[in-house]
């Protein structure tokens, strides 16, 4: 259904550059208000949010729930055993029922089609809190973090090292909108979705490279980015992946090759000693905790935009 004055947030590439930049500016503004201790900005007063989680979470759950509360609203956590979307009840029914109670829905699901179905049948905005395909709220927070630390996102070089997963797809979809240099270095057979790579390349906005050589890829990077080798839903492949991903650990040597200006980022949770060493994640140029904090600020701005506020 049409959502008068309101919008879903499902993929970064659903928006133009001006809108993405406006959301990021708004995130910085609202962050400053919250950090100042001012609790008088309550745009979500009287509003409620349903949060559907088919997978575990720390950051997504706590940042959405806290952010929505700090801006005046009330959020309801629905865990994997509660709604069981598509199992206990059809997604189209979940969407229509929740739309009658709640002003906004956030969902973390397995199949990407589930979030598309939810958005299709809901009459309130739906926010994507991660699917097997993408994780747009994470990459909006990452963009905010890069702007804060590097000074800008445009023209920077972001090198992702690891599995061509949902995080990479959201980086690619951001690169279809904002010009920067994105490189994904992954083992053969673990490249990101070819259609998504093509979409990002055809947008003609950013320089995009997919490679199997992390040493070469990281040279001159502003950011070296890592994520788990086995995502949620793939944990039974973890042992096999540890073999295949040898050489893709972000360690001190790789950071040295990247050069002195490179920050280290990771969406977390991290498996220390697997995709990243303790030394790298604890180094002064690691910005994983400011990055995690920015989930809340980026999402507050995303929800304001989604609700037309
Ligand atoms: N980065 C992230 O989405 O973390 P959680 O899985 O803890 O929500
Ligand atoms: N790629 C990871 C990201 C977790 C935030 C996963 O999907 O499990």
Q: How far is the CA of 103 from the centre of ligand 2 (A)?
A: 27
Q: How far is the CA of 232 from the centre of ligand 2 (A)?
A: 6
Give first-to-last CA distance, the chain, whole Å.
20
Span 242-300, pLDDT tens digits:
999 999 999 999 999 999 999 999 999 999 999 999 999 999 999 999 999 999 999 99
Span 145-201, pLDDT tens digits:
999 999 999 999 999 999 999 999 999 999 999 999 999 999 999 999 999 999 999
| Predicted TM-score of the model (pTM) | 0.98
CA 268 to ligand 1: nearest atom? 1
CA 61 to ligand 1: nearest atom? 8
Look up residue 296 and give its two tokens. 């809340």
Residues 246/271, Cβ–Cβ less than 8 Å:
no
Q: Is 165 in the pocket of ligand 2 (CB under 6 A)?
A: yes
Q: How many CB atoms lie within 10 A of CB 173?
A: 22
User: To test ligand 2's pocket by mutation, which of 228, 238, 265 has the most ligand atoms within 8 angstroms of CB?
Assistant: 228
Q: What H or E segment, with its residue span, contains residue 23?
A: helix 17-35
CA dihedral (123, 296, 136, 78) positive or negative: negative
Helices (H), 102-250: 112-121, 136-150, 166-175, 194-203, 214-217, 238-244
CA dihedral (128, 48, 296, 307) positive or negative: positive
* Residues annotated catalytic, as ranges: 267
Instruction: Give the ipTM.
Output: 0.99
pLDDT at 1 over 70: no
Span 64-76, pLDDT tens digits:
999 999 999 999 9
Smallest CA-to-CA distance from 2 within 96, 127, 125, 129 is with 125
pLDDT at 2 over 80: no
Strand pairing report for 104-108 and 74-78: unpaired
């Amino acid at each position: 259904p049409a959502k008068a004055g309101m919008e879903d947030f499902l993929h970064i590439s659903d928006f133009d550059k001006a809108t993405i930049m406006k959301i990021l500016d708004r995130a910085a503004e609202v962050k400053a208000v919250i950090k100042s201790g001012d609790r008088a900005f309550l745009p979500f007063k009287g509003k409620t949010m349903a949060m559907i989680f088919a997978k575990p979470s720390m950051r997504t759950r706590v940042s959405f729930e806290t952010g929505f509360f700090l801006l005046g609203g009330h959020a309801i956590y629905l865990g994997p055993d509660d709604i069981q979307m598509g199992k206990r009840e059809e997604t189209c029914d979940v969407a229509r029922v929740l739309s009658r109670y709640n002003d906004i829905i956030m969902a973390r699901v397995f199949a990407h089609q589930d979030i598309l179905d939810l958005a299709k049948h809901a009459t309130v905005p739906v926010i994507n809190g991660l699917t097997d395909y993408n994780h747009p709220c994470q990459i909006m927070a990452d963009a905010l973090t890069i702007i804060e630390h590097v000074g800008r996102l445009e023209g920077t070089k972001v090198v992702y090292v690891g599995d061509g997963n949902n995080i990479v797809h959201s980086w690619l979809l951001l690169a279809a909108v904002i010009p920067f240099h994105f490189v994904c270095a992954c083992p053969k057979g673990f490249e990101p979705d070819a259609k998504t790579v093509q979409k990002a390349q055809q947008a003609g906005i950013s320089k995009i490279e997919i490679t199997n050589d992390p040493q070469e890829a990281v040279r001159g990077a502003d950011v070296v980015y890592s994520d788990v080798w086995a995502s949620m839903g793939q944990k039974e492949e973890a042992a096999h992946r540890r073999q295949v991903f040898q050489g893709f650990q972000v360690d001190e040597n790789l950071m040295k090759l990247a050069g002195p200006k490179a920050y280290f980022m990771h969406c977390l949770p991290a498996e220390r000693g697997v995709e990243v060493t303790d030394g790298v994640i604890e180094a002064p140029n690691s910005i994983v905790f400011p990055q995690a904090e920015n989930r809340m600020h980026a999402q507050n701005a995303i929800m304001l935009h989604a609700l037309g506020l």
